[in-house]
Amino acid sequence: MKKSFLSNFNTNTQTIWKQSGFTNPTEVQESVLNPILAGNDIIAKSPTGTGKTVAYLLPLIERIKEEDGAIQTVILAPSRELVMQIYQEVQKWTQGTKIRTASFVGGANIKRQLEKLKTRPQIVVGSPGRILELIKLKKLKMHEVKSIVLDEGDQLLNEEHLNTVRTVVKSTLNDRQLLLFSATSLKEPEQIKAMIGRAPEFISVGQAQSPTDHQTDHLYLLCEPRDRAKLLQKIAAMKNVKALVFVRDRGNMNVLYEKLKYEKVSVNLLHSDLSKREREQALTSLRKGEVTLLLATDIAARGLDIKGLTHVIHFDFPKDLDQYIHRSGRTGRMGKKGTVVSFVTPREERELKKFAKQLQLSIKLMRIYKGNFVSTIKHNRKEKR
């Protein structure tokens, strides 16, 4: 363990670090430490599963003045699930301190959320829409905020969230710090400069655009759309599978869900129209291994960290390279083993090979044979004998 890294933090943080079984910090955790402690604006790009939340959280906790009752740090994330996931990390790392925390998401009872503000939280985690709503109600006072974090920043700067995020950032004083974290490059980095009125520091770590490390196997199955449900059923029947299955839209997802349920496959759903409670139950059912497959849309599963996830399955082919990276990064996190499976038509195979070239990945063509993924070459040899 590198003493120089841990020695930057209070004894409480050091204790939790050791209790968590962490040894050395990851590259992104080391790279952003001093700039964040110095109050600099940064845009940090690092592959998924490299500990970005801890990277910004620990130095920000270090900067919190416990005796100051104002909101000092605001963390924005694009989905309810990601807000709750980050909030759990905030609770974990502030345990044993007097730092007060709160989370705010759309769809939740606003009266209950207003009650949370009476506790005078110093760290707030929320979805952009709900945070802006509380600002407009004059219930969330932003003038003393020292730091704003945009987690999954590339997503927060897309059309859906951009204006809301910009308004939230503009509600703070000019000298606050802005931190943006993403697994992929920003399409328009100038948006940040325009938002904060100055140029941030760029920090990029890890491989240029690697979705995961070498612990993750990438493979694909060549099939027609009509055969995909059957293939998914075969994967669900394999040993110790805990898979997140990406489906393009809710209509297709519901049809697939009914097919799998009919075949008695252990499956659940995750999409943005479910209630907060239903979404939490769906995630818990996969985390605990109560179901084998969790069907999800991209919005619902953005940034999720599901411990022990063995497979990511691109049931519907990703729309672009960024989507492939973000989906694939749900497995093989922090050095754990994982498998990414893409269902592709011959036309999509060409596109997948382009992704492989850009990411410098080996993506192998496989088949399912006797309950296992096998190389098509070996399989064909067997058939010829």
The structural domains of the chain, ordered by start, are 3-204 (3.40.50.300), 216-384 (3.40.50.300)
For the stretch 316-333, pLDDT in tens is: 999 988 889 888 888 877
The answer on pLDDT for 381 being more than 50 is: no
Pairwise CA distance, residues 296 & 298, whole Å: 7
- Categorize the per-residue pLDDT at 264 as very low, low, confident or very high, splitting at 50, 70 and 90: very high
Q: Under a CB-based contact definition with an 8 Å cutoff, are residues 43 and 67 in contact?
A: no
Question: Three-class SS of residue 218?
Answer: strand
- Categorize the per-residue pLDDT at 301 as very low, low, confident or very high, splitting at 50, 70 and 90: low
Query: How remote is the C-alpha of 336 from its chain's centroid?
Result: 16
77: tokens are: 């994330």
Report, in angstroms and rounded to the nearest whole number, the Rg of the chain calculated over CA atoms.
22
Question: Three-class SS of residue 293?
Answer: strand
Q: What is the mean pLDDT of the chain?
A: 88
The answer on pLDDT for 212 being more than 50 is: no
Q: What is the pTM of this model?
A: 0.71
What pLDDT does 218 receive?
94
What pLDDT does 334 receive?
63
What pLDDT does 164 receive?
95
Question: Three-class SS of residue 122?
Answer: coil
Helix axes 321-328, 346-359, angle to 10 degrees: 80
Q: Which residue has the higher pLDDT, 302 or 329?
A: 329
User: Quick one: 307 exposed, middle or buried, by C-beta within 10 A (0-12, 13-18, 19+)?
Assistant: exposed
The answer on pLDDT for 382 being more than 70 is: no
Cβ-Cβ contacts under 8 Å for 355 (sequence gap 6 or more): 321, 324, 361, 363
The answer on pLDDT for 28 being more than 80 is: yes
- Categorize the per-residue pLDDT at 308 as very low, low, confident or very high, splitting at 50, 70 and 90: confident
Cα 62 to Cα 58, 68, 94, 140, 261, distances in angstroms: 6, 14, 10, 23, 49
Cβ-Cβ contacts under 8 Å for 258 (sequence gap 6 or more): none
Lowest mean pLDDT among 118-132, 197-211, 231-245, 330-344: 197-211
